[in-house]
Structure 1
Amino acid sequence: MFLHHRFYELGSAFYSVERIKPLNEQRLVEINLPLAQFLSVDFKDQQTLDTLNGEISVPKSLSMVYAGHQFGGFSPQLGDGRGILLGELEGQDGCFYDLHIKGVGFTPFSRMGDGRAVLRSSIREYLVSEYMNALGVPSSRALALYDSNQAVYRERPEPGAMLARVAKTHIRFGHFEYFFYTKKTEELDALIQYSLNQYFPTCLKEENPILAMFKDIVLRTADMIAHWQAIGFQHGVMNTDNFSILGETIDYGPYGFMEEYDPSWVCNHSDHEGRYAFGRQPSVGLWNLNCLARSFSHHLTKEQLVEALTLYETQLEERFSSIMSNKMGVSKEALTDSLMSEWLSIIKKERLDYTTAFRLLSHVSKETPSVLLDEVIDREAAREFLERYWEKREDRRDQAAVSDLMLKTNPKFVLRNYLAHQVIESAEQGNYLPFRKLLNVLSSPFSEHEESHDLAMPSPEWGKQLEVSCSS
């Protein structure tokens, strides 16, 4: 395993050099073999194993420093309080990927924390990152999972764990905020140039590379939020320190996937005011971009920043419309707000599961309306919707091909909290078979997996009452 250390070259103002503090009797319990092969990580090599678990120290491994707006308030210094960037790996595509270890122990940025991760949150992140990747949503990825017999104290003593994960970058909006608000002009300039060179090289060819980069960040963020809204995903903690400049979903904590359709739904039990409710995510994305824009205010004019920010709404709507047209099997030209609103209204009124409802629609044909009608109480309203739906759907495309595309767009399986809860309980007892069974279907969620049909069922009532918080 050959590690590159490009971020390290920026200098000590950007990080603290740290090393992994191994857990007691930690065990490697899961490996993402396809990802490992893509990154040329050989888990049969003892040196690789000892590097990942902290037995061998990496001289240039580091914890990043950054700031961030958290629930609307600015925190001038945050940072990797429980994570270490070991270095970067070159993938088979020729691109570089950060290798980041979560749960490494105390760092200078841990504040009042212990720098550890619990098995519960590590399993949740492993599952969701691989699920998001399978859905085609830009996301960090899980590479390996470690458990241990070391107790970590949250609301209760829990097994400590470490998660090896990769992303195209871990540079966040908060990195720029940190150097802007601390008036470290040279460091901010260096960070901007580094980002241009490493992540936005095509922008260097533009007349104003920094403006081009900021516009790209705006567009990538809009694409990410559009994906979230289309699949019913709620991040839970949309702080600026949790937003990647490359529009990848990172830092999974109290996330959730919508079951009963409700724009006001809040998955994070700690979000008492509903700041990051599902329906507010698009506006929060723009709010975060406005925070980032301030950090570029010495490099771009107000007019240039406004010009870039105005791209957000158009891009989000365009991307969302494109995804939803595929989900509904209707061309973008035929997909109207009224048709989508009527469908979402039926889902909400009938209390249908969001993911299951779109999967049902994928199976509906003119000859088999009962696929949907048998699942609703108000059959007449659903029948009227289907009549209007078929008027919009009938075009020159082969309808069997349309249904096939819908089945490849609308997953059969979704990561429900109760499913995660069940596999976590088993894993805490040393049984990882339920985890692997769930991971298998989430890694290919559009396939039928008849042997695992039970994992596609809507949550039982007790499962709908489960709560997640920032400690999750």
Structure 2
Amino acid sequence: MKLEHNYANLGAGFSSKTQIQPLIEQRLVEFNQPLAAFLSVDIKSPLTKSLLCGDKVIPDALSMVYAGHQFGGFSPQLGDGRGVLLGEVRGANGLLYDLHMKGAGPTPYSRRGDGRAVLRSCIREYLAGEAMTALSVPSSRALALYDSRQAVYRETPEAGAMLLRVAQGHVRFGHFEYFFYQGKQTELDQLIAYCLTHFYPECQATDSPLESMLIEVVKRTARMIAKWQALGFQHGVMNTDNFSITGETIDYGPYGFMEDYEPDWVCNHSDHEGRYAFSRQPGVGLWNLNCLMRCFSKHLEKDQLIAILQCYEPELQTQYDCLMMEKMGLNSSRQLHDLLPSLLTLLAAEKLDYSVFFRLLSHIKQDHFDTLLDEVVDRDRLAQWLVKYQSARLDQPLNWQKTSERMLQVNPKFILRNYLAHDAIQAAEHGDYLPFRRLLNVLNHPFEEHPESEYLAQRPPSWGKSLEVSCSS
């Protein structure tokens, strides 16, 4: 494993030196071999093992400092309160990727916290990163999971754990907010140069590199959130310190994949006002970007920043429309706009399972709608919609079978339901990681049938719908 330390080279104003503080009787219980191969990380190497578990010091390991708007209120200094950036490694594509250990112990930014993570939250984040990657959403991923016999206290004592995370970058909107509101212009300029060099090198050849980079940040963020909305995914804590400058989904906590379709669904039981409800995510994304743009008010004119922000809505709408056309097997936005609003109203009224509905829609045969009609109370209403839908499907060049095959490649059979994660976590807390690995297998290949794992495609039992996740998750 060849670690580079480009972020550390920015200087002491950007971070604090930290090290992994090993847990009691810590052990490696899961290692992402395909990702490791991509990053040329050999877990069998004694040196790599000792570096990753904290037995050997990494001199340039650090915890980042940043700020952030949290539930709308500004916190002028946050930072990696339980994370250590070990360095960067180069992937097979030539790009650099951060190695970031979560739960590594207290840091200067822990704010009286213990700097630890629990097995529950680490398993949820491991599963989420792999699920989102398989669903083509840019995301951080887990490279390694460690459990331990160390008690970590949350609402009750839980098993301590560490998660080694990989992302193209962990620079957040909050990094720019920190230096801007601290009045640290030199450091802000350094951070801009760092992001241009490492994340947006193509923008350096343009007439206005910063403007070009910010346009791309806006567009990547818009595309990411469009994918969330099309999948029925809710992040849960869309603070500016949880938004990556690279357009990757990071910091999985109280997230959720929608089951019964509810536009105003709130997955995070700590979000008492519903600020980050599912239907509000696109608006929050724009709000966060507006916070980011303020940080460049001394670099670009107000009109330039407004124009950059105006790229957001059309990019999000275009991406969302394309994704929903694929999910519905349509080939024109006219058809989509004619059919989608009434469908979503119907899904909400019937409280239909979002992912199950689209998977069933992918399977229906021409003039044979019973599998879907059996899902609803108001059969006539759905039947009328299906007649219109079938007409639109037939009014396009691709035949019915080919369209269905394409739909099955974008409408997953398996999603990361809360009750499935709960079952896997409970088993792991008793030392049994087989349910976790079985779930991980189908989430890595969510569009395949996996007849041996049919039970993992089932809708939640009644108790599974009432599970609560919060910021401690």
Is the Cα contact below 8 Å between 1:363 and 1:371 reproduced in 2?
no
The Cα offsets for residues 418-442 of structure 1, whole Å up to 9 and x where unpaired, read as 1111111110000001111111111
Q: Which runs of 5+ in 2 are unaligned?
A: none
Q: Provide the residue aligned with 2:30 in structure 1.
A: 30
Is 1:415 the counterpart of 2:421 in the alignment? Answer: no
Q: Provide the residue aligned with 1:368 in structure 2.
A: 368
How much does 1:303 deviate? Answer: 0.2
Distance 2:177 2:303 in 1: 20
Q: Provide the residue aligned with 1:396 in structure 2.
A: 397
Is the Cα contact below 8 Å between 2:82 and 2:105 reproduced in 1?
yes
The Cα offsets for residues 258-298 of structure 1, whole Å up to 9 and x where unpaired, read as 11111111000100000000000000000000000110111
Distance 1:329 1:125 in 2: 31
Is the Cα contact below 8 Å between 1:171 and 1:244 reproduced in 2?
yes
The Cα offsets for residues 140-182 of structure 1, whole Å up to 9 and x where unpaired, read as 0111100000000000000000001100000000000000000
How much does 1:19 deviate? Answer: 0.4
Is the Cα contact below 8 Å between 1:334 and 1:392 reproduced in 2?
no
What is the total number of aligned residue pairs between the two structures? 472
How much does 1:206 deviate? Answer: 1.1
Distance 2:73 2:280 in 1: 17
How much does 1:341 deviate? Answer: 1.4
Distance 2:90 2:297 in 1: 34
Is the Cα contact below 8 Å between 1:334 and 1:393 reproduced in 2?
no
Map 1:58-137 onto structure 2 (within 5 A). Answer: 58-137=58-137
* SS of residue paired to 1:466: coil
Comparing 19-28 and 43-52, the one that deviates more: 43-52
The Cα offsets for residues 380-425 of structure 1, whole Å up to 9 and x where unpaired, read as 1111111100121221112211111100000001111111111111
Q: Provide the residue aligned with 2:178 in structure 1.
A: 178
* SS of residue paired to 2:413: coil
How much does 1:338 deviate? Answer: 3.6
Q: Provide the residue aligned with 2:467 in structure 1.
A: 466
How much does 1:202 deviate? Answer: 1.0
How much does 1:345 deviate? Answer: 2.1
Give the TM-score, by structure 2 length. 0.99
Question: What amino acid is aligned across from residue 237 of structure 1 in structure 2?
Answer: V
Aligned-residue RMSD, C-alpha: 0.8
The Cα offsets for residues 290-345 of structure 1, whole Å up to 9 and x where unpaired, read as 00011011101000000000010000000000000000001133433341012222
The Cα offsets for residues 187-236 of structure 1, whole Å up to 9 and x where unpaired, read as 00110011111111111111111111111110000001100000000000
Q: Provide the residue aligned with 1:300 in structure 2.
A: 300
* SS of residue paired to 1:160: strand
Map 1:33-432 onto structure 2 (within 5 A). Answer: 33-394=33-394, 395-432=396-433
Give the TM-score, by structure 1 length. 0.99
Distance 1:266 1:337 in 2: 26
How much does 1:112 deviate? Answer: 2.0
Distance 2:459 2:335 in 1: 27
Is the Cα contact below 8 Å between 2:321 and 2:333 reproduced in 1?
no
* SS of residue paired to 1:80: coil
Is the Cα contact below 8 Å between 1:321 and 1:332 reproduced in 2?
no
How much does 1:457 deviate? Answer: 0.8
Is the Cα contact below 8 Å between 1:327 and 1:406 reproduced in 2?
yes
The Cα offsets for residues 326-372 of structure 1, whole Å up to 9 and x where unpaired, read as 00001133433341012222222222111100000000121422221
The Cα offsets for residues 18-41 of structure 1, whole Å up to 9 and x where unpaired, read as 100000000100011100111111
Identity %: 61
